[in-house]
Amino acid sequence: MPTAPASRQAGFGFNGNYMDIEPMAAPHQHLDIEIDFILEGGAEYTIANKHIRLIPGHLLIFWSTIPHQVKRFEPETKGCYLHLPIMEFFHWNLKSDLVARVSSCETVLIESGRYYELDRNLFKLWVEDFLSPGFKNSLAVRRQLMNEIEYRFRRVEPDAINAMPTVLNGPVPDVVIEMAKCIASDCCAPCFTVQTVAQQVELNERYAMTLFKKSLGMTIHEFILRHRVAHAQYLLATTDQTVLAVGLESGFGSQSSFYAAFKRYAKLAPADYREQLHSSN
């Protein structure tokens, strides 16, 4: 039976919650780093056609541009998830090669080991913080929460990491991974275009576009726009910059192009997105 096409969303920004334990009807994609942790029970995932079982004592972390789906939850399963902005994650200063592995589209399982009880308590604490009025109303609280998550991952020992290469329509070519990393790192720069990406990896522009879409299921241009919108969501949530300033810092050359892309992928105008974040319960 053919696999259902993945639905695509802009990044979810910076958030976390308890898992909805209903299986997903189809794979989906977004542009954040996703981190999942099971408190009780277990869950079965399909990530880029690879089957993974997540149980207590392990953290699952992956770049969610990879199509993924939770296929089944065991009875009475409880778990947490976090979504982190990709640009923030890329700049984490970790002693392990976790950032390199995840940014290379590898799916990573991390064994909690001696930090198991700490992880259980931290994930519950973080989710409660995400759901609290303080997170919605205070930039300082949001910044502190990001720092706490980064500090936990600084403690990850290299031998606790089990990384699995991603297979989509065959292995993702290294040059496509380099293009994706280039976009995620630099797409907010002025005058960043498809041509910029092709030149970075020394490929003909048309060939680069064809190879990228075949490997990741979307065009380079769409990938750029989605990452810009995801970064704008993060800035709207974690700074008090004006909407116009957020659009410019996210790589949009005009207010109209920013509004059009944001409404297309986030389904709201930027100001409405910020207002919804601050007013939601």
- Separation between Cα atoms, residue 281 and residue 275, nearest integer Å: 12
Check residue 241 and give its pLDDT: 93
Averaged pLDDT for residues 60-70: 88
Q: Alpha helices, DSSP H only, in the chain?
A: 86-90, 98-103, 116-130, 133-137, 139-154, 174-186, 194-200, 205-216, 220-238, 243-249, 255-266, 270-279
Q: Can you give the residue ranges of every domain in the chain?
A: 7-167, 173-279
Neighbours of 92 (CB within 10 A): 16
Tokens of residue 76, six digits: 């009475």
Flag whether the pTM goes above 0.85: no
Check residue 101 and give its pLDDT: 83
Neighbours of 8 (CB within 10 A): 17
DSSP string, 26-59: S-EE-SSEEEEEEEES-EEEEETTEEEEE-TTEE
CATH architecture, domain defined by 7-167: Sandwich (2.60)
Tokens of residue 199, six digits: 């030149």
Give the chain's mean pLDDT: 86
Phi, psi angles (nearest 5°) of residue 88: -65, -45
Averaged pLDDT for residues 43-49: 88
Tokens of residue 266, six digits: 């986030």
As a CATH number, domain 173-279 is 1.10.10.60
- Where is average pLDDT lowest: 6-10, 106-110, 139-143? 6-10
Q: Give per-residue pLDDT as tens, 124-161.
A: 999 999 999 888 778 788 889 999 999 999 988 888 88
Check residue 115 and give its pLDDT: 93
Averaged pLDDT for residues 190-206: 93
Averaged pLDDT for residues 52-61: 94
* Beta-carbon contacts of residue 95 (< 8 Å; ≥ 6 apart): 154, 158
Check residue 260 and give its pLDDT: 96
- Separation between Cα atoms, residue 190 and residue 56, nearest integer Å: 44
Share of the chain above pLDDT 70, in %: 91
Confidence of residue 171 (pLDDT cuts 50, 70, 90): low
Q: Give per-residue pLDDT as tens, 213-260.
A: 888 778 999 889 988 988 888 888 778 899 999 999 999 999 999 999
* Beta-carbon contacts of residue 20 (< 8 Å; ≥ 6 apart): none
